[in-house]
A and B are shown apart, each in its own frame.
Chain A
Amino acid sequence: MYGLESIAANNGWAISVVGVSIVFSGLVLLSLSISRIHKVLDLWDNRNDIRIFCKKPQERSEPALLPFTEKKKASARQFRLLVKTMDDPFSLHRLLHLAEISGLERPHSSLCHLIKAGIIEPDHQGDYFFNREAFDRYAS
């Protein structure tokens, strides 16, 4: 048996159709991949914008819950009164000066404690403001 007859008898037509399909599918996939390659390169170039590759920005940690003794609470209330006499936002070293001349006990470390607790916060332009929520949380 020779020729077309032999091909038909040994599933040659089916095998050739499968073969052609495999090669054709491969070529289609290859051409699709090549046509999308610019997208992949764009993605790689801008990988820093992709969230999963972004380095987590160092977040300023929330001020730790500092212990506020009755003395410190009283000091916070005194500072609050002084702040009320000032503009908003206010000058931090003016506040320190007022605390000193008002005779507050250990004004420097008390002020430092309020800053660490987030009760006094910077406006990042050189002035500071009084955070009432933090004050209520710690010292009210």
Chain B
Amino acid sequence: MSGTLAILKKGTIFSSLAPTDFERLGALMEKQDIQEGETLAMKKERATRFFILSSGTLLIAMDDGKSVVMDRPGDFIGMELLSSKGEYINTVIALENGEVLAIKRDDFLDLIQEDSLLAETIMHHWNSFLEENVPFVEQKEIPGMAYHY
């Protein structure tokens, strides 16, 4: 659990959460080893999980041949970067061996819908993260989160 929290703290999105929120989020995470060439999420399949990179490198293959590489511990691969209306919109492939923290999409969305302050904090940092790392991805608003993501 402490390892999970340490990874969450490394990323820009979750690093400013309150300790109790860390605990709640951390409790929902599951460690998963990844192997080079492994597909973590496949476009058009039902979106079941979001990911936080713990180690390794992931390639997110998007529409129109666009791609983004995530290689910093704490990078979050979820929400509009990964799914829309409950379906994966991009494919996530591991470029090298490593580890991710996986969280069920429904659990994550339930958690942030229950707590508006938590949602606001996460969305604020998430939007900054997208602007910095994936400026070409269209950002979405909070209302109707489950529908959107």
Pick out which of these stretches binds chain A: B1-9, B92-100, B109-117.
B92-100
Interface size class of B (residues with CB under 8 A): 20 to 34
| A71 contacts partner chain B, Cβ-Cβ < 8 Å | no
Residue of A nearest to B56 (CB): A112
A111 near B95 (CB under 8 angstroms)? yes
What per-residue 1/0 map shows which CB atoms of A94-138 lie under 8 Å from chain B?
Answer: 101000000000111101100110000010111110000000000
| Chain B residues within an 8 Å CB radius of A107 | 37
Residue of B nearest to A97 (CB): B61
Interface residues of B (CB under 8 A from A): 36-37, 57, 59, 61-62, 64-69, 71, 91, 93-96, 134-136
B96 near A112 (CB under 8 angstroms)? yes
A residues 3-61 in Cβ contact with B at 8 Å: none
- Name the contact of A126 in the complex, choosing from B36, B93, B94, B136 (C-beta under 8 A): B136
A112 near B95 (CB under 8 angstroms)? yes
Taking the closest CB of chain A, its distance from the CB of B65, in whole angstroms, is 3
Q: In the docked arrangement, what's the CA distance between A96 and B69, Å?
A: 12
Q: In the docked arrangement, what's the CA distance between A112 and B38, Å?
A: 14
Instruction: Tell me how many residues of A have a C-beta within 8 Å of chain B.
Output: 19
| Chain A residues within an 8 Å CB radius of B61 | 92-93
| Chain A residues within an 8 Å CB radius of B36 | 106, 108-109, 112
Known interface pairs A93-B61, A108-B96, A127-B65; 10 further A-B residue pairs with C-beta atoms within 8 A, sorted by A's residue number:
A96-B93, A107-B37, A108-B37, A111-B59, A116-B71, A122-B68, A125-B66, A126-B67, A127-B67, A128-B67
Q: In the docked arrangement, what's the CA distance between A22 and B87, Å?
A: 81
Taking the closest CB of chain A, its distance from the CB of B44, in whole angstroms, is 15
| Chain B residues within an 8 Å CB radius of A124 | 135
Q: In the docked arrangement, what's the CA distance between A94 and B61, Å?
A: 9
10 contacts across the A-B interface (CB closer than 8 A): A92-B59, A92-B67, A109-B36, A109-B95, A112-B57, A115-B95, A126-B64, A126-B67, A126-B136, A127-B65
